[in-house]
Chains A and B, each alone.
Chain A
Amino acid sequence: MKRLTKKLMAGTFAIGLALVSATGAASADSSEPIKIPIKNWSSQIVMAHVIGGMFESMGNNVEYVPVDNQASFEAVRVGDITILQEVWQSTMQNAYYNAMEKGGLIDAGTHAAETLEEMGVPNWVIEQGLCPGLPSWEALKDCSAAFATPDSGGKGRWLEGPQSWHGEVMPNRIKGLGLDDTWTVKFAGGADALWTELEAAKKEGRGTVIFNWTPNFTDASGFTFIEFPEYYDGCRIADGGTMDTTGCGSPKGWLKKGAFWKFPKTHPNAYRAFSQLSFTTPQIGSMAALVDVDKMTHEDAAKKWLADNEDVWKPWATSVLGEGN
């Protein structure tokens, strides 16, 4: 019995080793599956299936791997996933460049979409006049009481994303703008905590200042970003700024793509298509809306999007095939 188990283990071990080294030919695209990460927000998942559909139309094998956003940067470095299709500047650039520095991740170009990640308020806050003068940040000076919570010690509260997203940027900004007497920052544990707070505040009809981004599913129900002093390179303390300049807002951010370094070599055609691929803000918004508004499954949404937008993605796929053959 024991010997048999040993043999079996040795067997699976050998197969494992074989799996590590077995791969296809080099000239055309390898038939090894391209591994696309599935993270936990709608536009990312639909985009994963859209890109997967594009690869499949080019004759490639595709595999979807569910993975936590933060973990994906370590995973792409070692090839457990092949691409990163949505890297947001303000929340993920640290992880992105850290992974690049450690080696294994390459920059695969930038989407046309411009992103904005910033503190803001849902539209009803403005409509109910809870803080007259918004969206200018100056309005915050006089309305903190409407945004206080039991644990904020009488101050107004900004609900920021997890600390892993941008560290001390928001606490520093409050100090830099001289708002720290009346405002404080609380870090939420994750995106779902942010959306829950949004929903709860809406039900209760109270004010809330939360961190949010666009394009996002909250765009549909109305969300206004607060206008802070203009961002410029180096204004933040972490980038060499001072307390006087760190009150600056968030930059209009890029949305990048990344890939495992072997991807161009194993799948040259797919890589070229992927590097040319570039979605605009409305396109990403429409992908998310199919799921968040029309309540389709992510797979169905991707199929519909691919069918409706052939003129968008066909050129990326076919031009490559034309050159390749």
Chain B
Amino acid sequence: MPSYLKSSKAIQFGVLFIAFFLLNALIGPSESNYLWRLPPLLKDIPFLINDLVRGLMFEWMPIDVYDPSIDEYEQKPLFREITRAISSSFSFVINAVREFILGGSKTIVAFSSWDFIKENPWAVWPALPWTVVVGWAMVLGYKLQGRNLAFLTGVAGLYIAAFGQWSPSMQTLSFILIAAPVSVFLGLALGVFAYKSKAVEAFLNPLLNVAQTMPHYSYLVPIIVLFGVGDHAAALVTILFATPSMVRLVLLGLKNVPTDVVDAGRMSGCNDFQMLFRVLIPTAKRDVLIGVNQVVMQCLSMTVIAAFIGAQGLGSNLLIALNSLRIGTGLEIGICIVLIAVVFDKMSLAWANKQTDYFADLSFTKRYRHFLIMAAILVGGIVMAMIGSIIFEEDFNYFYIVPHNKGLTTAPFWQAGVDWVWDTFFYTLKSFNEWLITGVLVPMRDAYLAMPVVATFLLVMGTAYILAGLRSALIVGGFLLFIAFSEYWDRALITMYMATFAVVVSGIIGITLGAACAQNTFASKAVLLFCDFLQTFPSFIYLIPVIMLFGITDTSVLIASLAFASVPATRFTVEGLRSVPPVLQDAGSMCGVSRLQRLISIEIPIAFPHIMLGVNQTVNFALMMVIIGAFIGTIDLGQLILKAISEPQGTGIGITLGVCVAFIGLAVDQIIRTWANKRKLALGLN
């Protein structure tokens, strides 16, 4: 290759595009031409997966199980008995937490029987008054950080109780209080294993990649088949979704532990166990606890999806509200989810930043002060609930449990807001919508579908080669080949077209907004807070107003994607720009650059690798939302995934489609990550 070709990326891209357009022009649509579309050699994969799961669940190793309820022996496959046992242990712990707060009898049943409950009506665990639970949470907040967090917790609790969302919120909380610790524990264990053994790491890495990029509702069907429907299944889906990032962060944290620290540990004579729990994990504490924080946020972002397979609580109420178009109620529920997320987020971060005081020497009352306060709150709350039962004799006891829909409501206000948005914007947006669909989206989709398969491969692999090198190009080619050999290539092209549009627009929005806000400390904080809100606020809620304004069209799907996918681009840009060393900025200023020049020629290039990681996440978020767009109405892979839920071969089809989506995400990830690492090396960062 001549040297001028190697030196300039612009020329390389020029050659690539010319070749790409030539291929496009030369190869016309033809079913028999393999250059146009590859044959679906892998079309049996869904059925293989399906038969495998079915065989395992319903045929493999049948054992005789006595069922006393029908007084008969039944043949049950071993594997299913195992998964069922896991299910019921999860149900047991979730119910135990739930009934501790909300009362009930299932936990007592687990140690006796339903007959026992029937004969002994007193055997019911009473609910805690909401005042007690909120009080306890406030004490916890105070202990972790101080007055501010206690205040925030109190306000959140008051909101939830006053708006009559107490019981569903606590139901949601109870399965998160199980799912989050299990994810943390699993993530910690797997992370440590991966740190200890290269083989485990090599084995886990691709699995984590796929798990992190696979759309979550493509594994809902397999989970139903394996574990059934209910809170336990919801908890399992949530764990599956939340664990990978924890594993990654634990591994990252452990790898970053300085060798000096490890040596010091060794010299002090640590055994393996001490090394791990007294040296490595405490040193990596910050990363590990950021992982905990991530787990909590991801668990809460799953509340709605989890309701599809039986999670009780806010998510399920939200779906019901939206299905009868009660947007106001939906918003109130959404705010409850965000509030729980914010409180959890602040608490776990406060915990992350808390230093253990090894030298404290406290008296009994000082040491157990918080427990004493909590006991006092318990007594106080119960007394209040008793007084409440006298005051509200006729009505509901508002000091005990505020019943659903008997609290305050702001639904009419939000409804009026939605009407206002409609009246103000609809007709302006209508012409914009028509222009966007006929002028941009439809031509873009048609162009994607008109690409011969070789041209697509050339373009993607060529880009990978130029930006990231030969190895990346081959890996990316492998991912694409799997999709091209499946039956879903055309569908995947439509997914890619929507994802491309969403990524480009949200990348521009995110980077511009981030760069603007990064100039000012207050604006940075505000925009990061807004990012947190968008990330945990259930996207299903804004799907409805978006559909009202833009109809059941690709525009709606894309607008909904933008709201979600702009978040990481914005966040990483702000973080990247804010962490440019002040020394470099000063050096620039001294050379006499203007504010804008400094931003463009110093700060952005330095922050570029970090920003690219944000763009990388934007790609994943955009893909996820485009797939969720199936709930609005799309004709891409997402529609097939949604359809798979009701099909007899659904398990296999769902997983295969999920893998296709994951591979699109991973292909982009491969290019961007390698490219960003190269830039980092070139800039001498790391």
Binding site for B on A (CB under 8 A): 5, 12-13, 15-26, 30-33, 38, 40-42, 45, 61, 65-68, 70-75, 78, 80-81, 94-95, 98, 102, 149-151, 159, 162-164, 186-193, 195-197, 199-200, 203-204, 217, 262, 265-266, 291-292, 297
Contact = CB atoms under 8 A, between A and B. Distances in A.
A192 B630 CA distance: 12
A191 to B, nearest CB: 6
A180 to B, nearest CB: 17
Interface string B59-80: 0000001111111000000000
B9 interface: no
Nearest to A68: B308
Contacts of A188: 552, 632-633
Interface stretch (B358-366, B511-519, B593-601, B637-645): B637-645
29 contacts: A12-B92, A13-B89, A15-B88, A15-B110, A19-B91, A19-B92, A24-B68, A24-B69, A25-B115, A30-B69, A31-B118, A32-B114, A33-B114, A40-B320, A66-B312, A71-B221, A71-B645, A74-B229, A80-B228, A162-B643, A163-B643, A164-B647, A187-B635, A189-B552, A189-B629, A189-B631, A192-B544, A193-B631, A200-B548
Contact of B645 (A32, A70, A262): A70
B579 interface: no
A192 B646 contact: no
Nearest to A78: B228
A163 B634 CA distance: 10
A162 B633 CA distance: 7
**Chain B interface extent, by class:** 35 or more
Contacts of A15: 88-89, 92, 110
Contacts of B316: 38, 66
A155 B93 CA distance: 56
B70 A262 contact: yes
Interface string B428-453: 00000110011001100000000000
A262 B442 CA distance: 53
A316 to B, nearest CB: 22
B225 interface: yes
B382 interface: no
A297 B437 contact: no
Contacts of B323: 40-41, 190-192, 195
Given A12-B93, A66-B310, A19 B88 contact: yes
A74 B70 contact: no
A81 B648 contact: no
B262 interface: no
B584 interface: no
Contact of A21 (B67, B185, B434): B67
Given A74-B224, A164-B646, A21 B325 contact: no
A45 B88 CA distance: 26
Of listed A33, A45, A68, residue having the most chain B CB within 10 A: A68
Contacts of A41: 323-324
Contact of A13 (B85, B319, B633): B85
Contacts of B65: 21
Contacts, number: 210
A240 to B, nearest CB: 20
B220 interface: yes
Contacts of B293: none
B307 interface: yes
A30 B69 CA distance: 7
B392 interface: no
Contacts of B325: 192, 195-196, 199
B307 A16 contact: no
Nearest to B76: A20
B85 A16 contact: yes
A72 B221 CA distance: 11
A154 B68 CA distance: 64
A284 to B, nearest CB: 15
A187 B633 contact: yes
Nearest to A296: B405
Of listed A19, A61, A186, A197, residue having the most chain B CB within 10 A: A19
Interface string B605-646: 000000000000000000000000111111100010011011
B438 A68 contact: no
Given A61-B114, A204-B426, A67 B229 contact: yes
B643 A164 contact: yes
B553 A151 contact: yes
B404 interface: yes
A34 B92 CA distance: 18
Contact of B633 (A5, A38, A40, A189): A189
8 shortest A-B CB distances, which residue pairs?
A16-B89, A23-B69, A31-B114, A66-B316, A75-B229, A16-B88, A189-B631, A150-B437
Contact of B225 (A74, A186, A265, A291): A74
A80 B226 CA distance: 12
Given A13-B85, A13-B89, A24-B113, A200 B551 contact: yes
A150 B635 CA distance: 16
A191 B631 CA distance: 9
Interface string B311-337: 110001001101111000000000000
B307 A71 contact: no
Contacts of B87: 16
A16 B117 contact: no
A149 B114 contact: no
Contact of B229 (A26, A81, A94, A197): A81
A227 to B, nearest CB: 25
Given A24-B114, A187-B639, A292-B324, A68 B309 contact: yes
Contacts of A197: 547, 551-552
Nearest to A288: B324
Contacts of B68: 21-24, 26
B86 interface: yes
Given A31-B117, A162-B643, A164-B643, A75 B228 contact: yes
A16 B227 CA distance: 13
Nearest to A23: B69
A65 B234 CA distance: 12
Given A19-B110, A150-B553, A195-B323, A26 B70 contact: yes
B196 interface: no
Given A149-B551, A196-B547, A66 B70 contact: no
A78 B311 CA distance: 18
Contacts of A21: 65-68
A265 B67 CA distance: 11
A163 B114 contact: no
A150 B89 contact: no
Nearest to B431: A150
A16 B93 CA distance: 10
B103 interface: no
A203 B645 contact: no
A30 B71 CA distance: 12
B633 A186 contact: yes
Contacts of B220: 71
